[in-house]
Amino acid sequence: MSTSETPAAGMTTLPGAGTNWKADGRCREVDPDLFFPEVGTGQSSAAKAVCLSCEVRLECLEYALTHGEQGVWGGTTEGQRRAIRRTRRDQPEREPEVEDAKSQRNSVILQLTHAGLSAAEIADRLGCAARTVTRVRTSRRQEAAA
């Protein structure tokens, strides 16, 4: 992707284009270079701030996870998306009938945690209690430490 295009604008030239979420990306309104900081400079916070208020953040994040995009997408850096992929790989395989809404919600909570959202932000986005977010995070930490 050209670095002269924002992530959402770049969708028009990539496989998978045709989804309509890209039209609502907030990055269409700002300097595209913001979303492609030099690797290792830690200068991704400005782009992440834009993503925080973007209505299509989850769709954008899923797209970037699937397509191995560079730069800031869905409020995450490439390194954070690698961590999300690892989290997903580490989760045990489940039969489709066992994969209920609760486990899907917990997975999203962990993904948004990796993306840097606070418990309150995640709770607000998912329509659950902040203590539920905290419980899922604590449970995950305990599993990782075991």
Site of tokens 């203590």: 131
Binding map of ligand SF4 across residues 76-115, x = CB under 6 A, - = no contact: ----------------------------------------
Q: Which of 34, 50, 123, 133 binds ligand SF4 (CB under 6 A)?
A: 50
CA distance 144 to 57: 27
Rounded Cα distance, 59 and 65, in Å: 10
Write the single-letter amino acid at 96. P
- Note whether 36 binds ligand SF4 by CB under 6 A: no
Residue 129 DSSP class: -
Q: Does 10 bind ligand SF4 (CB under 6 A)?
A: no
16, 63 Cβ separation under 8 angstroms: yes
Among 1, 5, 10, 57, binds ligand SF4 (CB under 6 A): 57
| Beta carbon nearer to ligand SF4, 25 or 65 | 25
Handedness of CA 111, 124, 9, 28 (dihedral sign): negative
- Smaller CB separation from ligand SF4, 26 or 109: 26
Interaction site with ligand SF4 (CB under 6 A): 6-8, 25-27, 35, 50-51, 54, 56-57, 60, 73-75
